[in-house]
Amino acid sequence: MKVAVVGATGLVGTKMMQVLAERNFPVTELIPVASEKSVGKEVDFKGKKYKVIGMKDAIAARPAVAIFSAGGSTSLEWAPQFAAAGITVIDNSSAWRMDPSKPLVVPEINADVLTENDKIIANPNCSTIQMVVALDPLHKKYGIKRVVVSTYQSVTGTGVKAVTQLMNERNGVQGEMAYKYPIDLNVIPQIDVFLDNGYTKEEMKMVKETCKIMRDDNIKVTATTVRIPVMGVHSESVNVEFENDFELNDIKVLLQNSRGIVLVDDITTQQYPMPKDAHEKDEVFVGRLRRDESQHNTLNMWIVSDNLRKGAATNAVQIAEYLLSKGLLK
């Protein structure tokens, strides 16, 4: 099967190719695609070199699927052109997520919405993905009323420029800055631009995407998203109010038996999820489970996942795997 990776030279695009190889997706020909300035560069896939090509040449090559990670404006311009050529697009940008005609998919939760007519499929925001993977089984059993989430997000969510800024600062080197402020030995309580309501775009993504993925507009979500000097993994402190009461042990059993989740929750041995343990893993790690003693039917939890893998590349490849398994990729 011909597979295009659009944005192949970026952090997420590179990770897409790594995950495609690791999961043995049936790629007969890789088509790496990037902006004009990167055309002609070579990328490595399974020990073979492939030359990066431009958008028009990629469409002409007629891949079965194109996995996009090239930013919203690129997706808005080019995804419809790929789709018009019969190519299924899985898009990692925010461009199509809240379009009512486009599915927003986390395979563990709502892959069943996908049909052969869906030619542009949206991959959710990284911080939303890991949260809903952990919340969905709880919602099905107890009914979620409200979620309060604070995130601790890796610099890799911004891209190569932010990783370089962090390492430059750590090594005392002056260089180009991805952020307005230093990030090493600092936290920045702003991810993406501010909106009229005082929230950032990232925060509102979590609010809106959660309801769409979990197919319940009654779930109330409020978020504070924060950038921290960590590479490769996002963490989240999540407070969940349920319609119905719960036993803590039942919550643990439910999460333990849910697809894509690893429970790490033993305070007697100080076991809990940390970024260093989730790095380069595909699962969502959950721990620090405890009842909120200030309010009825409410749970506190800590959710950790690799933002370039489950938060982006792995989720996109899992969507492609689902489409393949259902005969929706030709």
Q: Which CA distances in Å does 157 have to 46, 162, 230, 239, 298?
A: 25, 8, 10, 23, 30
Q: Read off φ and ψ for residue 238, nearest 5 degrees.
A: -125, 130
Q: CA angle 48-66-29, nearest 5°?
A: 30
SS3 278: helix
Would you please indicate which residues are annotated as catalytic (active-site) residues? 126, 234
Burial of 173 (0-12, 13-18, 19+ CB in 10 A): exposed
Kindly provide the b/e burial profile for residues 115-139, where b requires at least 16 CB atoms within 10 angstroms of the residue's own CB.
Answer: eeebbbbbbbbbbbbbbbbbbbbbb
Neighbours of 271 (CB within 10 A): 13
Rg (the chain; Cα; Å): 20
**E strands along 25-175, which residues?**
29-33, 42-45, 48-51, 65-68, 88-91, 120-122, 144-153
Q: CA angle 204-102-150, nearest 5°?
A: 20
> Closest Cα to residue 153, out of 277, 305, 269, 39?
305
> Closest Cα to residue 66, out of 97, 96, 43, 33?
33
Name residue 4's beta-bridge partners.
31, 66
Say if CB 69 and CB 7 are below 8 A apart.
Answer: yes
